A and B are shown apart, each in its own frame.
Chain A
Amino acid sequence: MWDYTEKVKDHFLHPRNVGEIENPDAVGIIGNIVCGDALKLTFKVDRKTNRIIDVKFQTFGCASAIASSSVLTELLKGKTIEEAQKITNQDIADYLGGLPEEKMHCSVMGKEALEEAIKNYKGEKQPIEPQGRIICKCFNVSEEKIRKVAQENHLKTVEEITNFTKAGGACGSCLGEIETILKDVWSTKEPIKIEARSIKKRTNLQKIALIQDILEREIRPSLQADGGDIELIDIEGNKVIVGFRAMCVSCPMGGITLKSIEDKLKEVVGEEIMVVEE
């Protein structure tokens, strides 16, 4: 039996704001039945004051998932969208008097559903699939999510990442990759935002290692899957020189491929990166 606080028990046994709002102004859906957790958050907003005037949830999950969802709705009521945006998963956990470490992913699910709902309210396009490279295939957790949750919650160990995201909690084959990501996240002194991972904060050796890693683990496998290949020839400052191999040599889409590689490296390594063919 998990050691739940009285607040968790109360919100589990007497969940507040259960249901689905008709014609909501915002909908946020996170999780699925395969992973064992899912949350659907709906709310109404007073357009004049920008305040959330009604909010409801439906949750598939354990006691802490239900309690986290219930508390989230309580936290949201009456807040402006700007105030709601500032709610963190730690706020949810704190309101509950804490969650068992292994259950922190329930609070993260609440935060994610809120983010999705706000995006929906603002009319921002929501991706159908999770963004970024999937690290944990068992629970469909992306690298982007691992980085974000690690930074927001100051997580330093793989175990903490598992507790907060579920990543690595099943077959365990991705634990090594999670460790690598964590090392990268905390390799700079002030890794507050993903955007802060600029090339200026890495040594040359770190930058080269990161470029090699991305080419080997992400780009080469996808090219090889189509019968092509790529080789890293050299790195001169911010210029990354590559050579296409196999089917890529004669591919009419080579220019587009080169651009997409550059975009990926710009996104992860730094805006200054330029990719050229040998």
Chain B
Amino acid sequence: MKTLYFDNNATTQVAQEVLDSMLPYFREFYGNPSSMHTFGGQIYRKIEEAREQVALLIGSDPDEIIFTSCGTESNNTAIMSAIETNPTKKHVITTKVEHPAVLNFCKHLSRKGYRVTYLPVDSKGRLEIDSLLQVIDDDLALVSIMHANNETGVIFPIEKIGHILKERKVVFHTDAVQIVGKLPINVKDLPVDMLTLSGHKIHAPKGIGALYVRKGTRFYPYLIGGHQENGRRAGTENVAFIIGLGKACEIAAKSIQKEVGFVKHLRDKLENSLLSNCPDASINGDKENRLPNTSNISFEFVEGEAILLLLNEYGICASSGSACTSGSLEPSHVLRAMGVRNTAIHGSVRFSLSRYNQEREVDKVIEVMPEIIKNLRLISPFGQERLTGKGYAS
């Protein structure tokens, strides 16, 4: 059975061109880029070429890019650097809907005595700038706010926030893992001091990320050791993966405009059909201002894991904010923060598309999903309640 993959916000397929660009650097060109000899030196130049490719995608200068192992490392590095370079300041602002790489690091800071403010979102998952203005103070070491949410795709007003923080000279980091490569961004217009991106969200492999650090931003390394990355991130470079990330960024820079339209067309077709053919379904998140590839839909009265497993029977891969899909017993912290109804929160499914999805794959989801939801509602007491009007536990 062919896999129909709609979980691209979790990870993406490595592009063939990316893999091809990486392979020689495992066996043929295996020198250490820190070595003095030519064999290693050529690798160093290749890394610098990848740095230029990454920089080109986000509009930065190459020396503003630090290669890391993943988005989590980039996020942790950015937050820790701001903390270390502002030792007298003990306040950090983030949002309630960040990725655990930021949320849990902020919880760690709380345990270390820092005061962390978690900004709320509204019912459409939007961040209100007023809530930020109310909590900015002189004790503020850092604001870390994601550019686009991984679950709903909702895009936050990073540019506006950045201007506010720039006036107040507060360090501003954004986790842009979900938006880089999906929509054009340019750090020349985006007043952020640091920005996180990750390879495996843009058809490079898992295990490679990057952190943009604007020139002039005070920086303290997270990994301390050798002189790699100009002393900003110690450790022998993950050469092949860095080259792969560079290639993925090069491809994204060239194709992003075309892909946005294609992916959005598929997403909208999928979403509109599911909403039309599945009663009591609704979109989670701001429909007007979100990533073109992401659709988070709640199917009321049924449970997300059950939906995913039935989709899996058709080879369809998606994701759910349901508690039962994870080790946690709590459903998505993002949907909770948005105040999604209990009847809907457990039955949320996220479809996230990429350039490799095809129209016939979308058609397959459209074909099977209404039946799946209908059958689960026949099992569910709440679904029966809705169908028959006989209530017992609403």
Contact = CB atoms under 8 A, between A and B. Distances in A.
Interface stretch (A12-20, A76-84, A260-268): A12-20
Contact of A60 (B302, B312, B313, B327): B302
A20 B393 contact: no
A241 to B, nearest CB: 42
B322 to A, nearest CB: 7
A99 to B, nearest CB: 12
Contacts, number: 80
A33 B329 contact: no
Nearest to A171: B330
B326 to A, nearest CB: 9
A102 B381 CA distance: 23
A36 B322 contact: yes
Nearest to B313: A13
B110 interface: no
A62 B327 contact: no
Given A29-B392, A40-B392, A169 B329 contact: yes
B329 A139 contact: yes
A187 interface: no
A219 to B, nearest CB: 30
B384 A20 contact: yes
Contacts of B302: 60
Contact of A33 (B323, B324, B327, B342): B342
Interface residues of B, number: 30
A73 interface: no
Chain A interface bracket (under 10, 10 to 19, 20 to 34, 35 or more): 20 to 34
Contact of B324 (A34, A62, A138): A62
A64 to B, nearest CB: 8
B205 to A, nearest CB: 21
A33 B380 CA distance: 10
Contacts of B313: 13
Nearest to B380: A60
B331 interface: yes
Interface in B347-394: 378-384, 392-394
A32 B305 contact: no
Contacts of B342: 33-34
B372 to A, nearest CB: 11
14 contacts: A1-B312, A2-B305, A32-B393, A33-B342, A33-B343, A33-B382, A33-B393, A36-B331, A39-B381, A58-B384, A62-B322, A66-B306, A103-B324, A169-B329
Interface of B: 301-303, 305-306, 309-310, 312-313, 322-324, 327-331, 342-343, 346, 378-384, 392-394
Interface of A: 1-2, 12-13, 15, 18, 20, 29, 32-34, 36, 38-40, 58-63, 65-66, 102-103, 138-139, 162, 166, 169-170
Complex A-B, nearest 7 residue pairs according to Cβ-Cβ distance, in ascending order: A169-B329, A62-B324, A58-B381, A62-B305, A60-B380, A40-B381, A170-B330
